[in-house]
Structure 1
Amino acid sequence: MTYTTAYSQTKPPQTNILLWLARLFVGLLFIFSGLIKANDPMGFGYKLQEYFHVLNLGFLHDYATWIAIFLCAVEIILGGLLILGIAGRKVAWGLLLLIIFFTFLTFYSAFFEVVKSCGCFGDAIPLTPWQSFLKDLVLLVLIVYIFVKRAEIRPWIKSAFTLNLLATFIIIASFGIGIYTYYFLPFIDFLPYKEGNNLPELMKVPEGAQPDVYEHIYELKNKTTNETKTVTDKEYMGQKLWEDENWEVVGEPKSKLVKKGFELKIPDLIITDMDGTDRTQEIIENPYYNFIVVSTDLKKMSPLDLAALDRINSTIRDLSADYNLRAILATASSADEVNYLNDQMDLVLETFYVDAVPLKSMVRSNPGLVLMLNGTVVKKWSAYNFPSKHELINTYLDKVQ
């Protein structure tokens, strides 16, 4: 009897398989979601700015990228610690508060149609707000279960030293990835301007491609009975309601997308000179090396950014003396801002104007640089990893000349 009692006291608690599976699924999904967004924190920051605008939090716009880096790190940390079983109660609280906030945000976005894509998995896996809301509902159920069972969360590694070492590594790596990609561009580029892509091809509609199919809906009112009804354009024409003088169309017809057609990868790239002349094809189809320096907003460049731009400008000036190349500045800033910068640096770059939306997709850096040849993106750099003149000559220019 005594032996049995002693054995039952030392017997380890039985593993809750359902809790372990929930921890594994939620943890891996949070890690994946955090890593995907940390790969491109500036892109996630742009998405946060959309939410800030909707929620009247415009004062946070300038901090969006750093908030994005922090949120991505929190996701990765919570996911990693949940799987390891470290600080189970605190992690469960953090997950619950985070998923409640995300669920509210995605429902708000979906119901009021204020944001077209949630940005949950960055540009790698675009989700509609309703898809994201359903995903968050599933996560909410699992996290509520984890929260209820939080007292049963146990580390699967017994060594306290090893657990502390892993936790420290997760925290440092979680913040380090976002900070690195912010300064030196994403590890993986999911955007249409990625290296190897031919921009003219991505701006053309293939022969035979089907356009979007829309249905037009009319609201009709009977002049005699004041009865109202809505009909589609097919019903309106098929029933010849347009011939019936008793019915009149009220307001403007509404359009509804019935079938999605072919969608251009790059639908909005228009490059104009200072006179407003479209120079898009001339620039992107240049058969020689084409350095495109991108700055969405010249005013938002820090002193370090300006120093980097000055170095880029000087390097290109030296190269242009011996090589047949073209170098331009593509910006959404005003002419006054460009002129001021030119006075400060004596820019060798031709200035062209592009809307901020395609510029943000072109390169995740302000300033950033795209090297093109025959319409194809050869290489991209941030302001901080632009190579030396010697490296550019050996790696690129001498291979063509």
Structure 2
Amino acid sequence: MNIITQVCRMIVGVLFIISGFVKLTDPLGFSYKLEEYFSPEVLGLDFLAPHALTIAMSIVIFECILGVMLILGDKPKFTSWSLLLLIVFFTGLTGYSAITGKVTDCGCFGDAMKLTPVQSFIKDLVLLVLILIIFFNRNKIKPLFTKRIATIGSVLALVASTVYTMYMFNHLPAIDFRPYKINANIIENMTVPEDAPKAVFDYYWKFDVNGKEEIIKTTGEYPSSEGTFVSVDTKMVTPGYEAPIHDYIMELDGVDYTEQLMQEENLIILHAFSLRRSDKKGFEAVKSKIEEAIDSGYKVIGMTASSASEIDELKQEFGFNFDFYFCDETTLKTMIRSNPAVMKLSKGTILQKLHYNDIDELELEKVGPKLIGLNLKLKKQLDSISNLDQGIRFVLMQQEKKDKDSVATVYGIPVQAETPKYFDLYRKIDSTNLIFAEKILTEYGYPGKSMVGEPTNNAIWYVIQHNMDKIGEYIEVIKKAGAAGEIEKTLVATMEDRLLMHNGEPQIYGTQGMSYSPGQEFIWPIKDPKNVNERRKEMGFDTTIEEYALALYGDAFVYMELTLEDAKRLQNQARNNSN
């Protein structure tokens, strides 16, 4: 029994040290796991959630120290009792997870070794047996060397564990077991191989056969039954391959930009999973380095799970002139254990991950011209005129006065007492917007996406587009903005065609048409119509002229190549018919 006790002592001690060390290296990760246990959906101890980090650090330090004390033979009575109480607690917790399935990973070995709830429970049951042997034979546990050396070793282990985990908390884990480690490529880790095993399911089909329930089990195929189908349930038999990264997204205004941003060669990301819970001193620490990255030509963005209002507050407070993309909070917590933090990537490959305390280690070199930060004040003004420009047109599209009033309220447009007043307001809005737009163009040039972001960069384009007499004056400015990538080339092409049609000349890209009444529509004549689809493709249109015409005028419309004489004839016919 003495030999068995000593063997159990060494096994348990080593396991506790390993388990504790892994969690000491990543105290925030273990605190996130405790928050999951404390949540209302699991144990309902949400009042403990704010103290999760303190509890996590205390548990892992205690776990590590107990392992050292057990091996050294320091205070065997205290050690054995503590081990027993701790393993009973852990066994109860993992047993609860195994029964309910509410927590899919206990976090026993952090991210180094993932265990299912059942595996964790079995592991704790084995440990419980080993610890019970130690507990009932604790009188056989003697110091490995001397009592004094054992005590000194325990104290040193306590100090070392505390200093180590505090250092890891204030920096980043020294060992990264997650798929977002340095030199990992996010896109590659999101890719599922073609030959990857698929999940296998059993299907339980329920039928009503003459009032009696019949259940037929298959592996997916619809069964043969004389009864009436009621429902089908599935149960996973064998899980399929799951990519290491499967929940990563970079979303802005409901659009997923992950693939696009992962192609950036020089990308700096400011991470903050929760702006409300973030350390404001952290943003102060990274601010100058972020500005240096922008000056050096890096594309800088933010990523958070926080609301738009919280993002706006942060931008105003720290003057961050770049977009913040949405990503799931759990994913952001997994990526980097700091709030805030900075990550440097090149085409999806992680080059650096830095805690805000280590921001000075961010390696920057001159990679291109300075990327202009967003002018938030101008952006807000342009968003306002864009809202009025589009809003009043949506108002006029409504047939009923009550519908016009309803849409006007949505867009913040003053409700008018009479319908004709909306037309007067429409002319006033266009006139006022034009005055503002011309002032902006004089002061800034075209306010493109590098200055005000997307889709705000389209605001001035709409104002000019809706003031026909001004298109000729500003078409070269619009072309220049398109060539520089500040607005979409499709918008440039549309405005150019609009001006040509207005001047009675053939258009170039086929974006303009005439519609007088059903059956009296046509695409305005096109210069060199045989090559129009090639020109459309070059300008970014994803439809041919034929497809565009059908989308514009309906499936019954037949596109025809017209001359200017043909167009004038059709116009005269339409006017005569209306008379």
Fold match by TM threshold 0.5: yes
The one-letter code of the counterpart of 1:248 is: T
Q: Which residue of 1 aligns with 2:32?
A: 46
Q: Which residue of 2 aligns with 1:279?
A: 257
The two structures have a TM-score, normalised by structure 1, of: 0.87
1: distance between equivalents of 2:327 and 2:110?
24
Q: How many residues align?
A: 367
1: distance between equivalents of 2:129 and 2:14?
16
Query: Residue 297 of structure 2 contacts residue 366 of structure 2 at CA under 8 Å; is this kept in 1?
Result: no
Given candidates 118, 127, 136, the residue that maps to 1:139 is 127
In the TM superposition, what are the counterparts of 1:100-111 in structure 2 within 5 Å?
100-111=88-99
Counterparts in 2 of 1:282 and 1:229: CA distance versus 1, 3 Å: same
Q: Which residue of 1 aligns with 2:324?
A: 351
1:10-41 alpha-carbon deviations (Å, 9 max, x no partner): xxxxx921111110000000111111111111
Counterparts in 2 of 1:85 and 1:203: CA distance versus 1, 3 Å: same
Q: Which residue of 2 aligns with 1:22?
A: 8
Given candidates 196, 205, 209, the residue that maps to 1:218 is 205
1:204-242 alpha-carbon deviations (Å, 9 max, x no partner): 222333332222212334324x3x34322359745x11x
The one-letter code of the counterpart of 2:271 is: V
The one-letter code of the counterpart of 1:21 is: V
The two structures have a TM-score, normalised by structure 2, of: 0.61
1: distance between equivalents of 2:196 and 2:8?
44
Q: Which residue of 2 aligns with 1:203?
A: 190
CA drift of 1:271 comes to 0.8
Given candidates 225, 229, 233, the residue that maps to 2:218 is 233
CA drift of 1:373 comes to 1.0
In the TM superposition, what are the counterparts of 1:41-120 in structure 2 within 5 Å?
41-53=27-39, 54-120=42-108
SS at match of 1:384: helix
Given candidates 21, 28, 36, the residue that maps to 2:22 is 36
The one-letter code of the counterpart of 2:52 is: A
Query: Residue 313 of structure 1 contacts residue 348 of structure 1 at CA under 8 Å; is this kept in 2?
Result: no
2: distance between equivalents of 1:234 and 1:326?
49
Q: Which residue of 2 aligns with 1:163?
A: 150
Query: Residue 40 of structure 1 contacts residue 178 of structure 1 at CA under 8 Å; is this kept in 2?
Result: yes
1:103-153 alpha-carbon deviations (Å, 9 max, x no partner): 111111101111111111111110011111111111111111111111222
2: distance between equivalents of 1:111 and 1:35?
28
Percent sequence identity is 37
In the TM superposition, what are the counterparts of 1:144-155 in structure 2 within 5 Å?
144-155=132-143
1:184-210 alpha-carbon deviations (Å, 9 max, x no partner): 111111111110111111122223333
Q: Which residue of 2 aligns with 1:10?
A: none
Query: Residue 201 of structure 2 contacts residue 219 of structure 2 at CA under 8 Å; is this kept in 1?
Result: no
Query: Residue 73 of structure 2 contacts residue 150 of structure 2 at CA under 8 Å; is this kept in 1?
Result: no
SS at match of 1:220: strand
Structure (1 or 2) with the larger CA radius of gyration: 2
Q: Which residue of 2 aligns with 1:335?
A: 308
The one-letter code of the counterpart of 2:282 is: A
1: distance between equivalents of 2:322 and 2:179?
24
Superposition RMSD in Å: 2.0
2: distance between equivalents of 1:266 and 1:72?
27
Gaps of 5+ in 2: 370-579
2: distance between equivalents of 1:320 and 1:234?
55
SS at match of 1:386: helix
The one-letter code of the counterpart of 1:144 is: L
Query: Residue 31 of structure 1 contacts residue 79 of structure 1 at CA under 8 Å; is this kept in 2?
Result: yes
In the TM superposition, what are the counterparts of 1:247-326 in structure 2 within 5 Å?
247-250=227-230, 252-273=231-252, 275-287=253-265, 289-301=266-278, 305-321=279-295, 323-326=296-299
2: distance between equivalents of 1:319 and 1:371?
10
Gaps of 5+ in 1: 1-14
Higher relative contact order (CA 8 A, sep 6+): 1
2: distance between equivalents of 1:109 and 1:100?
14
1:68-87 alpha-carbon deviations (Å, 9 max, x no partner): 11111111011100110001
